[in-house]
Homo-oligomer: A and B are copies of this chain.
Amino acid sequence: MEQGRVLLDHGGGGEAAHRLIREVFLSRFTAPEGTVRDDDAALLDEIRGPLAFSTDGYIIDPVEFAGGDIGSLAVHGTVNDVAMLGAVPLYLSCAFILEEGLPFPLLERLAQSMADAASAAGVRIVTGDTKVAPRGTADKIFITTAGIGRVIADPAPSGTRAAPGDAVLLSGCVGDHGLALTALRGGLHALSDIRSDSAPLNRMVEALVREAGDLHVLRDPTRGGLAATLNEIARRSAVVCLVREADVPVRDSVAAGCSVLGLDPLYLANEGKLVCILPQNRAEAALNAMRRFPEGRDAACIGEIAPSGADGKTGQVILHTRLGGRRLLSMPEGEQLPRIC
């Protein structure tokens, strides 16, 4: 499988499909003990306690970028979605849709990247599927992962649980992933040092649950960026989220790049950051827990939850700007940049 390209035959149920699965995937995705992996489903040991279950499809273009690729992103994204329920992600499934003609060396790099990302996050890829779409009916490779985890937070954090007086924490700088992709697609070499922040957050979540406890909301601000995530939380919890713009960590290079391109880092996607909302008296413990991780080094308290705005409305995000003003940070309507994840 060192060279050549994916053919329609690799998506059938016959010899070619079995070879591809064995040589490209099974050889890289190690099976945990207590699971059988060569049937159409994986047999998993009992998981004690409530479960978290999540899925995401990844159609990112280009498939390889500074700081990651569609393979590592497909692992990190679902690991993070599972973790955001205050859970320890354990198992992943992965379903590939491959475009006929995809070069095998690229597929093998992406499979290896998934294996490495899963191993680094401590999760196992235990079951999967491969389909081949005729040339022109899909673009290179789409990956859908689903994840199962054991919920360790009690009660589990939820977008509905932000409460007046809570602190709003952010685990690090925003905008890197979205800007890295924008730069790459636009061929903007001046921004070529900006890398995606794609990273697994499950160990940070575990530390938060154990050391800070009582997490009201955990959420990773991916599509739509921090602005979409905070608006969603404000609506679902029927509160107002007050954010101090000056306290939102943004890398200088990202701020400069956004300024040139007319982008707002608060609306750009992130793939290795989390928002944590919890009582003020737990905020210091939570920040300390986050800062022990490289991807949490820049963690900061960026605001707080209020019962309503000056006009009595809820479901809004109010930004205290650097210049001392206040404005609504609105929910984005659509997509700045398609195929960002």
Interface of A toward B, CB cutoff 8 Å:
7-18, 36, 38-59, 61, 81-82, 84-85, 87, 91, 93-97, 126-134, 136-139, 142, 144, 146-149, 151, 156, 158-160, 219-220, 222-225, 228-229, 232, 236, 269, 331-336, 338-339, 341
Contacts and interface: CB of A to CB of B under 8 A. Distances in A.
A339 B133 contact: yes
A336 to B, nearest CB: 7
For A12, A133, A147, the residue with the greatest tally of chain B CB atoms inside 10 Å of its CB is: A12
B14 A224 contact: yes
Contacts of A228: 12-14
The 10 closest A-B pairs by CB, nearest first: A13-B224, A9-B334, A12-B335, A13-B223, A146-B146, A41-B54, A14-B332, A144-B144, A55-B93, A137-B139
A75 to B, nearest CB: 14
Nearest to A142: B97
Contacts of A149: 41
Contact of A41 (B40, B44, B85, B137): B85
How many copies of the polypeptide does the oligomer hold?
A: 2
Majority SS at the chain A contact face: mixed
A52 B45 CA distance: 9
For A56, A142, A144, A341, the residue with the greatest tally of chain B CB atoms inside 10 Å of its CB is: A144
Contact of A84 (B41, B58, B159): B41
Given A95-B144, A134-B338, A41 B53 contact: yes
A297 B2 CA distance: 48
For A51, A61, A336, the residue with the greatest tally of chain B CB atoms inside 10 Å of its CB is: A51
Given A50-B44, A53-B44, A159 B39 contact: yes
16 contacts: A8-B338, A9-B334, A12-B332, A15-B334, A39-B84, A40-B220, A41-B85, A42-B53, A44-B51, A44-B52, A55-B144, A55-B146, A93-B146, A131-B339, A137-B138, A144-B144
